[in-house]
Chains A and B, each alone.
Chain A
Amino acid sequence: MDLSVRIGSLILKNPLIAASGCFGYGVEYAEVVDLSTLGAIVSKGLFLEEREGHPAPRIVETPAGMLNAIGLQGIGARRFVDEKLPELRARGATVIVNVCGTTLDEYVEVSRLVSDAEGVAAIELNISCPNIKEGGIQFGCSLNGTFDVVSAVRKATSLPVIPKLTPNVTDVASFARAAEDAGADAVSLVNTFLAMVIDVETRRPRISNVVGGLSGPAIRPIAVRMVYECRQTIKIPILGMGGIVDARDALEFLIAGADAVQVGTANFVDPFIWSKLTAGITDYMDRHRIARVADLVGSVDTAERTAHT
């Protein structure tokens, strides 16, 4: 059975990826998970410099989901390369670095810095975090901004470049197209949905940033639809995500058109989820006599059903 997937020039041993912001720097999980068994891990979002993020409270639970506004607290790309990357490399992890920037120049500079380091497999461009004021999403919410960031980083690195797209736009597929046109090797989607929770007793927002990003099973059907729409529009690989908690959810994304999947919120609930996902996917492939997981990608059968959108 072949679980490998190809993302541009990068071949992952399986389609299961730990999503950015949901797996620390990876080293936090080294005791409970054999990091080398994951398709890849995506680091927390990294700017050039350290960031403290927002004050607590940073999360609140919602129906079948959670709202977060961490504010991209992070140690910065330099410290990541010096302090975390060597251990990840030693443990055989396939590392995708989530690159952030407040300016186009910062995206380029961080991308160069991590490209020069040993043991980085790809760059995921964070142009979609809903929780910070400057940078990031302002690129991701404009077609020109998306094109410009991807083009600039494309020129600065030979690593696969994977912009992570926001769902907080009218037509995600047009942003996927802009990324593809700019030379992206793949796209990740979706980041979280901008949302809000209010404590009616105190009339106070439940998180310090007032609004935050919604994740978890509550958003999954929307994310599946967006992956499906992008698959109809672009040729490059898609890393699909949004509320995956079990193998059936992961398979749904693959069948909708994702080449690989990322798992985020579910890792908080079950850090041992990875082997269960692998077992569930291989069991499904067994039952359906599918030799290569890549054969599942985009295999949704819409015959005699038309999406009127």
Chain B
Amino acid sequence: MEPGLLQSSDWPLLIDLYFFLGGVAGGAFVIATIANLLDGRRHQDIVRIGYYVAFLAVLPCPLLLIVDLGYPSRFLHMLMVSKPSTAIGMDAVTVGPFHLKLFSPMSAGAWALLVFGLCTFLCALDVFLTDRGGRSVTGLRTVAGVIGGVFGFFIAAYPGVLLGATARPLFISAHWLGAVFLAVGAATGGAAIALILALLRGAGGREGLVRVMRVTSMALVVELIALALFVVSVKMAGSARISAALGQLLAGPYSVPFWLGAVIVGVVVPIVLQRGAARSGAPVMAVLASVLVLVGGFLVKYVLIAAGQAS
């Protein structure tokens, strides 16, 4: 389809930052949960760091979203209004003052952030109490971990689906943004854990570091594949304006941050560095690779949103 007259939401950098932090939190939480479920004692460093990172990363997220609203004091309207109308969309669910719109990723995302935030708090609290010599509450970490893990993936991916459900030329025909954002979230979450592990434990944390870097590398490969499929799906739209929007990303003003920043610095170089770090066990290489993944993860989201809003 050829788009007509369009307007942009003009979301500022705050929203890019939220998408980035949400991805880091979601990715770190999922990795910590999987490590905890498989062998929590053996991978305790990863579990501890993962849950702390998730909690700290998700903490500013609601604030970033509220500050960006045109009417910040109405932030609760994302979840509830005193008298919700019944004619607010397909598959809208209203229970008392609460409402959920399954086809509005922003509505579903607001609820997911609430549940995920609660799970990160419970897991981080459990880790904190255990660190202080207390006993882990039986089953709490497992239950909150599994529920939070599902919502963690959701928090990482939904911004991509949200962008895909707009009429912006770069996004309207793209079907892979959710997958891209999910992979970026997993990679940056893993990178955040690896970075802290390498800084805290140095060579002593090699085993855990290698495992986390392996997850990160796999997520980076998935990201690269999803990005390629995103480009292909946009190219197949067969519209001059959509092709022009893609041209802005691949060969226009956004091409340098996209190719150099997001793809080479954010994906290709870290994969090579992580392989080197796994072989040599040098924490410095792991630190460098992790920093690059984090920088690249932010850049890929930033550049996709910027190019989409300008398209």
Note whether A and B form a binding pair: no
